[in-house]
Amino acid sequence: MRIAYFVHDLSDAAVLRRVRMLRERGAEVTVLGFRRTAAAPAFVHDAPAVDLGRSFDGRLGRRALGVVRQVLRAPALADVRGAQVVLARSLEMLVVGDAARRAHAPNARLAYECLDVHRLMVSPGPAGRLLRALERAILRRAQLLIVSSPAHLTSYFEPRQGLNRSLRLPVLTVENKVFELPAARPRGCVPARRPGPPWRIGWFGMLRCRRSLELLSQLARRRPGQVEVVIGGRPSEREFADFEADVARTPGMIFAGAYAPEDLEALYGSVHFSWAIDYFEEGANSRWLLPNRLYEGGRYGAAPIALKGTEVGRWLEQRGLGLVVEDPLYDLERFFGDLDAGAYRTLEEKSRRAPPEWFRAGTGDCGRLLQALGGLA
């Protein structure tokens, strides 16, 4: 199967994971996308990459202009020629991918991979209405919708876009699990951690939530010597003027910088808990998403901390895992004040006994993805 994969950021770790999943079952993949780094990679995993230009986190006007330019030059995107499937990650890439498909591969199947619902998509204003209308129009030409959380269907696509009513197309849920193959370096059971204090909380990934930084900072200050916070990933330049300086001002907080996928095991292995709370798009996507850090924390034995009433909180409560709180600062301050080695071992044991498929994707998941892209039930 030949797939043209349109992505918002060629250097995104989640894009790399999806390409690996597609390539595992023998798909021939070309990745076309914007980049948020100074230089464009020549390959994503082993798939050739086509650079569509520089993009920037949060700068919606500039990103929209980039999309318009790529739509206008769609006839020049000859790399799409011969594709059997055009897979587009995010609405901006759906617009570009659909234009390129119509120019070069009109018989190719169109699949929309929507893993986040931007706050503008739920806005009642003219910009929100315009974007929803655009998304709905292209979805009528699509053959597959891919989401990472059931709440994206029940809270957005069904009530706001008419999915299963005026809009009908197959849906595949592909959770943001850690992708591992049987041939990968074998890993045994996650080793037991040395109990605290200090109890270490890890916040890893794309760092966009200012409120999370404030809560973790307050917690570290209120529980000196009892709670430490380790942060790793890429801070949003739009949300933080000087992230490293903000972290350095708080004793007990450490910024480990950016990391590669192969660093995940060591990062999560260095902490007791994983921060899976997000307020970046409070009341909308932050409530609906099931983020990478939920599965990474579970896979590598760091108990996730989530907010009650969110999809992450429900996911953990249904499985009896992690820690679900209502008022993070108040609840966690009390929790860590009372936590001892025995209580932590009980929490840790629940994670260690959880079925691996709750957190890990493998060859079976790759097969289901390829079947859906190819139009098979």
Do residues 206 and 168 both lie within one domain?
no
Euclidean distance between CA atoms 54 and 9, whole angstroms: 9
Do residues 228 and 154 both lie within one domain?
no
Do residues 232 and 346 both lie within one domain?
yes
Do residues 209 and 148 both lie within one domain?
no
Euclidean distance between CA atoms 38 and 42, whole angstroms: 13
Do residues 352 and 367 both lie within one domain?
no
For residue 58, what are the domain limits?
2-182+362-373
Question: Does 192 fall in a domain?
Answer: no
End-to-end Cα, the chain, rounded Å: 16
Residue with tokens 């739509």: 71
Q: What is the mean pLDDT of residues 214-223?
A: 96
* Ramachandran assignment for 119, one of left (phi > 0), alpha (psi -120 to 50 degrees), beta (any other): alpha
Question: Does 189 fall in a domain?
Answer: no
Euclidean distance between CA atoms 296 and 360, whole angstroms: 9
Q: Residue 190 — very low, low, confident or very high, per pLDDT cuts 50/70/90?
A: low
User: Where is average pLDDT lowest: 125-129, 130-134, 137-141, 281-285?
Assistant: 281-285
Domain count, the chain: 2
What does the pLDDT read at residue 56?
A: 66
Do residues 37 and 155 both lie within one domain?
yes
Q: What is the mean pLDDT of the chain?
A: 91
Q: Residue 370: which of 116, 111, 30 has the closest Cα?
A: 111
Euclidean distance between CA atoms 97 and 112, whole angstroms: 10
Do residues 213 and 320 both lie within one domain?
yes
Do residues 106 and 234 both lie within one domain?
no
71 has pLDDT over 80: no
SS3 content of the chain, % helix, strand, coil (to 5): 45, 20, 35
Do residues 350 and 368 both lie within one domain?
no
Question: Does 193 fall in a domain?
Answer: no
Euclidean distance between CA atoms 191 and 257, whole angstroms: 25
Do residues 156 and 129 both lie within one domain?
yes
Question: Does 191 fall in a domain?
Answer: no
Q: Which CATH number does the domain housing residue 226 bear?
A: 3.40.50.2000
Q: Residue 287 — very low, low, confident or very high, per pLDDT cuts 50/70/90?
A: very high
Q: Residue 59 — very low, low, confident or very high, per pLDDT cuts 50/70/90?
A: low
Do residues 154 and 255 both lie within one domain?
no
At 307-353, the pLDDT tens digits run: 999 999 999 999 999 999 999 999 999 999 999 999 999 998 898 88
Euclidean distance between CA atoms 11 and 16, whole angstroms: 8
Euclidean distance between CA atoms 259 and 110, whole angstroms: 33
Question: Does 194 fall in a domain?
Answer: no
Q: Residue 188 — very low, low, confident or very high, per pLDDT cuts 50/70/90?
A: very low
At 159-177, the pLDDT tens digits run: 999 999 999 999 999 999 9
What does the pLDDT read at residue 352?
A: 85
Question: Does 83 fall in a domain?
Answer: yes
Cβ-count burial 310-339 (b if 16+ within 10 Å, e if not): bbbbbbbeeeebbbbbeebeebbbebbeeb
Question: Does 243 fall in a domain?
Answer: yes
At 255-278, the pLDDT tens digits run: 999 998 889 999 999 999 999 999
Q: Residue 190: which of 259, 266, 261, 260 has the closest Cα?
A: 266
Amino acid at residue number 319: R
Question: Does 60 fall in a domain?
Answer: yes
Do residues 211 and 320 both lie within one domain?
yes
